[in-house]
Structure 1
Amino acid sequence: MNVKFRLTIMSFLQFFVWGAWLITVANYWFGTKQWDGAQFGAIFSTMGIASIFMPTICGIVADRWINAEKLYGLLHILGGLTLFYVPQITNPSDFFWVILVAMIFYMPTIALSNSVAYNALKTSNLDVVKDFPPIRVWGTVGFIVAMWITNLTGNKASENQFYIAAVAAIGLGIYSFTLPKCEPKGKTTDNKSFIDLLGLSSFKLFADYKLALFFIFSMFLGAALQLTNAYGDVFLDDFKHLPEYADSIVVKYSTIIMSISQISETLFILAIPFFLKRFGIKQVMLFSMIAWVLRFGLFAYGNPGDGLWMIILSCIVYGMAFDFFNISGSLFVETSTDSTIRSSAQGLFMMMTNGFGAVLGSVTSGYIIDKYFTSAEGKDWHNIWLTFAIYALIIAVAFAVLFKHKHNPKDVESFSH
């Protein structure tokens, strides 16, 4: 079977597993279980907590001892079995711990899937910059398909969303053992220091000013992504409390409207090779930050009536905001690090974006919203999104000034080899 097709199946299922429950879990929590809202934010922090240590640990293991594709498969099977157990939970505290276990198994698979894909493409003498984005785009398609299946089958508030995700995870886990081998590159122990033997060499990357700065900005942008995941659907659904918007399509189909964001991702992923070669890594990442400003700013002024176009446009620019940093950042890490620490370095990138960044975004935003923007009448969404937009603007300006990187087309070409 064609290697690109095999990797496409992997990418599709990787994000299908997540999309089946991530956006709709709030409906299950508040609607079916009717649990306390104060504890809900903790569910989104599980991704961050797991990402602080698991991608790095699994990256080290894949670089030193176990084939990346085998470790990837094992993690998905264990994650799937955990998701099967979720519907049995009867209280919010246990729900948090079981979801945390599921995320401990799931979050490192994102970085590992990149390592497996890059290795398979290079081994087959294919162009990573040209061939990886069209493969990765199917991950976003998988996320959208899962969202729509969960929503349109009437399961967005039922326990079936976890069963759908579990079956897909176990299926992907089994399939992973058939993927091209991605063997450890750091096996030899001759003249290795104690740090090298433990596989902690990737942490030396923080000694490089440019890479350290890149990882710090990754953390701040990871926080921005959490703001969107946690509050986007709730924001649209809250318009039901305003009589003039109660029967609008935005309220009735909030999850479908939010999926425009993922549909936009598919288009921007395909545009990445052009933008990288034309503008270079720094400009592409800067475009991402400006897109985050627009994402939040348009939400601040949008509504389901005459401001519907702002909500739609916000969902469209999300594609650029998400992809241009996450995909380009992953490629940047790939070309800026030694092959013997490839998986570890991708794990570090994940740790900063989906780990520290996610926890920063979940905890800080929850505190700020509760303290400054919540009243008896509800949440002041206009000022919430405006505050997030200012946050993204400050990051963009700081990145433009501090991150020094001269565009060299040869750097982009080196991704391929």
Structure 2
Amino acid sequence: MNIKARLILMNFLEFFVWGSWLISLGSYMIVTLGFNGAEVGAVYATMGIASLFMPALLGIVADRWINAEKVLGACHIIGAILLFWASTVKDYQTFYFIMLLNSMAFMPTIALNNTVSYIVLEKKGYDIVKDFPPIRVWGTIGFIAAMWMVDIFGWTKSPLQLYVSAGAGLVLGIYSFTMAKCPPLAVAAKKGFASMLGLDAFVLFKRKKMAIFFVFAMLLGAALQITNAFGGAFLDDFKTSYADSFGVKHPNLLLSISQISETLFILTIPFFLRRFGIKNVMLLSIFAWVFRFGLFAIGDPGNGLYLLILSMIIYGMAFDFFNISGSLFVEKEADIKIRASAQGLFMLMTNGIGAYIGGTISGLVVDYFTVDGVRNWQHIWLAFAGYALILGLIFPLVFRYKHTTDARMEVRH
């Protein structure tokens, strides 16, 4: 199997593990376990808590002491064991604790997956900006495949979704150990205290452009968790008015249009980055979030189904244009000696602080607009759309960036 095919399989499994439960776990917790909105938001916020330190910490480990592919494999095996355990638990406190531990194991693997891919491609002489997106798109395909499997077999409100994820995680953990070696770079014998701890990645904050970029990446990361946590519950609440609709019967299949859209937009990233630069690409992402939430507010699984489908399509741009493009931007801006740490830092800002804010506040917003167990989804989604709109108005005013059409130069200005 050639190296691109091996990386495709690795990316496929990486996001299959996540897609098995990320979109449907909210419905499982609300409908089957009886958790409230704040509790569901708190469980999703565990990904943010873990990402505050685990991606950066294990990025340091991969940069300095242990091969990145080995760290990746170990994390997936540990995560698989924890998900098997979570599938047997029904009380909130224990479930929360296990999912927190699982987040600590899984969240670093997203950045590590990117790091391993970048290192292997670079060793083989490939252009990362050109060749990584077509490989990464298979991660999204894996995410979709997992969603479809869980939906078609009727496991969206069942703990079996956790078994599917755990099984895939175990396979990926073993497979990761067979990947091409990604050893730590040799570093000089004399290192400062900050360098020893891997804190040298934070040197990127000294550059105003990068500091502002990371802040907005964090704020966009908050938006990401909202529909992950409550998209399924939103559709499930139409079960009385649109009981026979496709969206209510197969919520994961409808929501998976978002990930299908991702696969298309990922392939456009090299063109958009080279043609328009990171500032305009990020701005497109922000306003895509406005439409994502706004269309949810006015759509329904009946006559308004087309509005929900449009929202799913727009999600591809909203997610990819800050998540994948942002990762590539950071890869080019960071020194080669701190690239794993830099990817961990990007994860900290988006899936760490951002996800924690998004998971926590979204749960409170949902409960605020819930009266006697009835959730006012239109007000909920409009509140989130307003949040994204404010970001879109501020971002172009504060992020100073000079774009050049040269692929290598554009991200170093």
> Shorter chain as normaliser: what TM range?
over 0.9
Moved more, 333-342 or 202-211: 202-211
What is aligned with 2:33? 33
Give, in whole Å, the separation in 2 of the partners of 1:232 and 1:153.
19
| Letter paired with 2:136 | R
* 1:234 matched to 2:230: no
Give, in whole Å, the separation in 2 of the partners of 1:281 and 1:156.
37
**Cα distance, 1:116 vs structure 2:** 0.6
Q: Is the 8 A contact 1:302 1:310 kept in 2?
A: yes
Residues 51-90 of structure 1: matches in 2 within 5 Å?
A: 51-90=51-90
Residues 266-345 of structure 1: matches in 2 within 5 Å?
A: 266-345=263-342
Residues 375-394 of structure 1: matches in 2 within 5 Å?
A: 375-376=371-372, 378-394=374-390
**Cα distance, 1:390 vs structure 2:** 1.3
Give, in whole Å, the separation in 2 of the partners of 1:47 and 1:412.
33
Give, in whole Å, the separation in 1 of the partners of 2:37 and 2:410.
48
| CA displacement, residues 351-380 of structure 1 (integer Å, 9 cap, x when unaligned) | 010110011112222223323x22236122
Moved more, 249-258 or 335-344: 249-258
Give, in whole Å, the separation in 2 of the partners of 1:402 and 1:356.
21
Give, in whole Å, the separation in 2 of the partners of 1:235 and 1:37.
11
Q: Rate the CA distance shift 1:300–1:327 in 2: closer, same or farther, 3 A.
A: same
| CA displacement, residues 270-323 of structure 1 (integer Å, 9 cap, x when unaligned) | 111111111111111111111111101111111223322111000000000000
Q: Rate the CA distance shift 1:155–1:377 in 2: closer, same or farther, 3 A.
A: closer
Give, in whole Å, the separation in 1 of the partners of 2:268 and 2:251.
27
SS at match of 1:184: coil
What is aligned with 1:168? 168
Give, in whole Å, the separation in 1 of the partners of 2:358 and 2:118.
30
Q: Is the 8 A contact 2:20 2:165 kept in 1?
A: yes
Q: Rate the CA distance shift 1:50–1:302 in 2: closer, same or farther, 3 A.
A: same
What is aligned with 1:124? 124
Q: CA RMSD in A?
A: 1.7
Q: Is the 8 A contact 1:80 1:165 kept in 2?
A: yes
Q: Is the 8 A contact 1:276 1:412 kept in 2?
A: no
Q: What are the ranges of 5 or more consecutive residues in structure 1 without an aligned counterpart?
A: none
Give, in whole Å, the separation in 2 of the partners of 1:103 and 1:363.
15
What is aligned with 1:221? 220
Moved more, 339-348 or 146-155: 146-155
Provide TM-score, normalisation by structure 1. 0.95
Give, in whole Å, the separation in 2 of the partners of 1:170 and 1:262.
23
Give, in whole Å, the separation in 2 of the partners of 1:21 and 1:270.
25
**Cα distance, 1:411 vs structure 2:** 4.3
Q: Is the 8 A contact 2:274 2:407 kept in 1?
A: no
What is aligned with 2:155? 155
Give, in whole Å, the separation in 2 of the partners of 1:227 and 1:157.
19
Q: Rate the CA distance shift 1:391–1:36 in 2: closer, same or farther, 3 A.
A: closer
Q: Rate the CA distance shift 1:255–1:355 in 2: closer, same or farther, 3 A.
A: same
**Cα distance, 1:5 vs structure 2:** 0.6
**Cα distance, 1:149 vs structure 2:** 1.0
**Cα distance, 1:233 vs structure 2:** 1.6
| Letter paired with 2:209 | K
Give, in whole Å, the separation in 1 of the partners of 2:227 and 2:201.
30
Residues 247-262 of structure 1: matches in 2 within 5 Å?
A: 247-262=244-259
What is aligned with 1:44? 44
What is aligned with 1:2? 2
Give, in whole Å, the separation in 2 of the partners of 1:33 and 1:181.
43
Q: Rate the CA distance shift 1:95–1:183 in 2: closer, same or farther, 3 A.
A: same
| CA displacement, residues 71-111 of structure 1 (integer Å, 9 cap, x when unaligned) | 11111111111112122224221011011111100000000
**Cα distance, 1:25 vs structure 2:** 1.7
Provide TM-score, normalisation by structure 2. 0.96
Give, in whole Å, the separation in 2 of the partners of 1:378 and 1:155.
24
| Letter paired with 1:386 | L
Give, in whole Å, the separation in 2 of the partners of 1:413 and 1:406.
10
SS at match of 2:87: helix
| Letter paired with 2:205 | F
**Sequence identity (%):** 56
Q: Rate the CA distance shift 1:246–1:158 in 2: closer, same or farther, 3 A.
A: closer
SS at match of 1:280: helix
Q: Is the 8 A contact 1:189 1:197 kept in 2?
A: no
Moved more, 385-394 or 9-18: 385-394
Give, in whole Å, the separation in 1 of the partners of 2:243 and 2:28.
21
Q: Is the 8 A contact 1:25 1:157 kept in 2?
A: yes
Q: Is the 8 A contact 1:27 1:157 kept in 2?
A: yes
Q: Is the 8 A contact 1:335 1:414 kept in 2?
A: no
